[in-house]
Amino acid sequence: MHVEVGKENSTSINLYYEDHGSGQPVVLIHGYPLSSASWEKQVPVLLNAGYRVIAYDRRGFGKSSQPTTGYNYDTFAEDLRKLITHLRLRDFVLVGFSMGGGEVARYVGKYGSKDVSKAVIIDGVPPHLIKTADDPEGLDASVFEGIEKAVAADRYAFFTEFFKNFYNTDVNLGKRVSEEAMRASWNTAAIASATASLACVPTWYEDFRADVAKIDVPTLVIHGDADRIVPFALGGQRTAKMIPGAELVVIKDGPHNVAWTHADEVNSALVTFLAKPSAKATPKKKAAA
């Protein structure tokens, strides 16, 4: 299925999404440079647990349109908002991996938490990755400049090296990730928009600190402590501290894409968290006297 989220000249910009099952809606937001198909180890588990599972492709990726505009988090959040409005979702859960964690934060920061039941951020880019005067812990800007140059020069070669650190293949290849799964990830990245592949890199160091501070729903933060893309100390550790009452699950030896390499641990944490009563649940009516 597709939902139109805008236009570029005479061409509609459509997001591809899949909508399965019934029950409380759980919206899955993928990471760079993959697609909604990257959730294949989570979808059946969530469906079996009784949830309605909605997964979509970010603009520029997977089966969604590939415009040359809109690669910024305000637009990404607006795209998500249009999908949610189209499906008339209520009491839904937002689950974001990597870049998807940015959508979760910006969505709440921009639109508030009305109708949002819970939030989950897995190895997400929030709260802030780049070193600035008011955030000296971040990565140097040259790191991202180097990535942009590599993507612009030969994105296919870049993806090959990127996925080695995405899955920590020196440790996990042949154990927690296969050559074939790596190839599938590369193939997904290769069909993404060349524009999106490059334009998304600067969005990784978006400042989400104000957005994260506005998250006021039960939140689960999952992060691998061996993440080479978004270091735990910069990502999950800080995000969890900024959200009152947030639960933090650290995946030992987990690389960036723990949802694949450590799927059992991630799924267990996810299903356990989703099953807990939400603070936003509607109070039960008092029985008649």
DSSP secondary structure code for residue 135 in this structure? B
| Annotation marks residue 86 as catalytic | no
Say which of 30, 128, 223, 256 is annotated catalytic: 256
- Per the listing, tokens 């890199």 go with 201
What separation in angstroms does the CA of 245 have from each of 117, 118, 135, 249, 272? 14, 12, 23, 13, 16
Tokens of 151: 């993507």
| Annotation marks residue 64 as catalytic | no
| Annotation marks residue 223 as catalytic | no
CA separation for the pair 249, 271 (Å, rounded) = 13
Say which of 98, 117, 193, 197 is annotated catalytic: 98
Structure-derived torsion over alpha carbons of residues 265, 224, 229, 17, reported in degrees to the nearest 10: 30
CA separation for the pair 269, 275 (Å, rounded) = 10
User: Strand 25-29 and strand 52-56: pairing?
Assistant: parallel
Say which of 57, 79, 123, 227 is annotated catalytic: 227
The catalytic residue positions are 98, 227, 256
